[in-house]
Chains A and B, each alone.
Chain A
Amino acid sequence: NAGVMQNPRHLVRRRGQEARLRCSPMKGHSHVYWYRQLPEEGLKFMVYLQKENIIDESGMPKERFSAEFPKEGPSILRIQQVVRGDSAAYFCASSSIRAGYEQYFGPGTRLTVT
């Protein structure tokens, strides 16, 4: 039973480029969460999605960031016109049920903006 998969594991982008981060949840999980971890800090919630729906995006920056979880395929976190401050580790987690149940994390994508 494969765990949460994220790709790429490492992504380097120049300032102004776009970054696309992918997350495939565990089999049977329909809830996906994205978190960001800045260096030497804890994880910060960004967005919560179910299939074809954004449920909670209260942690997403208002501009340049978007997320989707289509009916088919992985969840995508998209960052347009990246800046140096976007450099961080981005983690995806999935859950079979909403609150209170374990979220299983992927290995993360480390984004470096040069």
Chain B
Amino acid sequence: AQTVTQSQPEMSVQEAETVTLSCTYDTSESDYYLFWYKQPPSRQMILVIRQEAYKQQNATENRFSVNFQKAAKSFSLKISDSQLGDAAMYFCAYTGSGNTGKLIFGQGTTLQVKP
């Protein structure tokens, strides 16, 4: 069975600095997709970034980028120029192309941004 692990329950960063959130996963599939979702205090789940496993190039969305290491099964999220609005719970998620599209989530990392 596939699993997703986020080993950092909490992280903090100074405003305008850079922070990296870690995520590892376990799968026997070769074709899959990885996501980072943000959940602010409103509890709304917001998609931050998406990565296809067959693509070697790391995905980037404005201040958010990933470091995808397929061999190591690692998928970290880097947030540059952190803003107060980035404070939230961040979830790493996996879905395999061979399954029904259901997302498997990690436990989450709470990010605190200090002014």
* Main SS class of interface, A: strand
Please give the number of chain B residues whose Cβ is less than 8 angstroms from any Cβ of chain A in the complex: 27
B47 at the A interface (CB under 8 A):
yes
Encoded as 1 (CB less than 8 Å from any B CB) or 0, chain A from 78 to 110 comes to: 000000000001010101001111111101101
Q: Which residues of A contact B98 (CB under 8 A)?
A: 99
Please give the number of chain A residues whose Cβ is less than 8 angstroms from any Cβ of chain B in the complex: 27
Distance in Å: Cβ of A107 to nearest Cβ of chain B: 5
Distance in Å: Cβ of A78 to nearest Cβ of chain B: 20
User: Using a CB-CB cutoff of 8 Å, which residues 62-85 of chain A contact chain B?
Assistant: none
A–B complex contacts, Cβ < 8 Å, 23 sampled? A31-B101, A33-B101, A41-B108, A42-B91, A42-B108, A43-B91, A44-B105, A56-B99, A56-B102, A98-B100, A99-B98, A99-B100, A100-B52, A100-B97, A100-B101, A102-B35, A102-B47, A103-B47, A103-B101, A105-B46, A107-B42, A107-B43, A107-B44
